Chains A and B, each alone.
Chain A
Amino acid sequence: MPLPRLIPCLDVAAGRVVKGVSFVNLRDVGDPVELAQHYSAGGADELVFLDITATPEGAGTMVHVVERVADVLEIPFTVGGGIRSVSDASRIIEAGADRVSLNSAALADPELITEIARRFGSQAVVVAIDAGDEVVYTHGGRVATDIATVPWAVEAAARGAGEILLTSIARDGQRTGFDLELTESVRDAVDIPVIASGGAGSARHVADALRVTDAALVASIVHENPAGLPGLRREIEAFGIVLRALKERT
């Protein structure tokens, strides 16, 4: 298996990285390109950008952000939010993203997963699942569906998804640790990589998640102290997790 991955996630609104709780009180925390470069230099293995406004008017703005990021970043990155068609996905991938992340659009039309995978390969399609008490939620975790989490992950994989981004709604923003039970249940049910998300509050939390799955998403823990990423990596390694060896740029 490849090495475990530490993946900072950046929420983007109207072309800026923002921070807020449950989509309210959004605060501008910086330029996506500058933060991406900063996290890359700090040892991020990959980045995820989520367009949290995802309005039709905002789509052009996001494509522009993706182009600017692709021009300076030499690590892989995924883009999600507002991708509802193959042509939406094409615009983002042609702008330079490695993968697109689908959430409610995949629930509404699971065939979309297959269509994007056929065109760009499974490695280009992430299905993001916002998991609550046994079922999947939409609308940023506010609206419950009647779709059970594990069967949906299995279906997404069967339809061509190349990775599951699994967020525990209950843990998201709580910084009390990842939902390892949820993560294991999905990991055991699918044979594609699974990214654990929601709840990272310390290096120990991340290390615990990386013992059960392929990758861990981190947000507030790094955004509060962007300069602390190298230290976080060292702490995770001190818990016995081997991350990729960083190399100095020559």
Chain B
Amino acid sequence: MSEVVVVDYGAGNTRSVCAALTHLGRTSTVSADPRLIHEAPHVILPGVGSARSAMTHLEETGAATALRERFAADQPLLGICLGMQLALQASEEDGGVKGLGLLEGIVVRLDAPRIPRLGWALVEPWGETFYFAHSFVAESPDVVATSEGLVAAVRRGSFLGVQFHPEKSDAAGLEFLASCLSLA
């Protein structure tokens, strides 16, 4: 069995996450199989696509239930970008979408000079620069790191969610992923 299951929700770029994991010497499988989500040492909910189609896909495949159970069992889960946003209670995206509800908070449209917010930005208090590409942003009491005043990371129990893309954040991103996996 692979060390990491990268949850497949039918859209976008899971290849880059797997490539970064390979770089770190970790094996990975892209799947929405509830059994694999239960059993994997680590699960990553990646982040590309639209909230509604992602949630629909997760509910239909049974992955949503498996993710909630995994969270309840205190097994590690990492959400990236949309994957982090989906873990909250709801999103304004696509006219309103109910999330997995693992964490407190909602997802709202960004209020920024240019949207999407694209590029590298400092994340505090971590003091590292990561790559962001987003038009929506979390508002959550579970915030543990910010970037330019915006929520950059949330944590509750075994779930850690980040707005940035560690798999696209060069050496800083690889180091971040390695430290997440070492906790598993």
CB within 8 Å of B: which residues of A? Answer: 1-5, 40, 45, 67, 70-76, 93-98, 118-124, 162-163, 191-193, 214-215, 244-250
Contacts and interface: CB of A to CB of B under 8 A. Distances in A.
B13 interface: yes
A123 B118 contact: yes
B133 interface: yes
Contacts of A70: 13, 15-16, 19
B171 A2 contact: no
B129 A3 contact: yes
B49 A2 contact: no
B133 A123 contact: yes
Interface residues of B, number: 40
Interface of B: 11-13, 15-16, 19-20, 22-23, 48-50, 112-121, 128-129, 131-135, 148, 165, 167-175
Nearest to B135: A122
Contacts of A5: 118-120
A110 to B, nearest CB: 19
A93 B12 CA distance: 6
B23 A74 contact: yes
Contact of A121 (B48, B114, B172): B48
B168 A76 contact: yes
A120 B133 contact: no
Given A120-B49, A121-B135, A215-B119, 17 more contacts: A1-B114, A1-B119, A70-B16, A71-B15, A74-B168, A74-B171, A76-B131, A93-B12, A98-B16, A118-B50, A119-B11, A121-B50, A162-B118, A163-B118, A191-B113, A192-B116, A193-B114
A1 B113 contact: yes
A122 B134 CA distance: 9
Contact of B20 (A74, A93, A123, A246): A74
Max count, chain A CB within 10 A of own CB: residue among B15, B118, B170, B171: B118
B95 to A, nearest CB: 13
Contact of B22 (A67, A71, A98, A123): A71
Given A2-B121, A214-B118, A75 B170 contact: yes
A45 B129 contact: no
A98 B119 contact: no
Contacts of B112: 1
B15 A76 contact: no
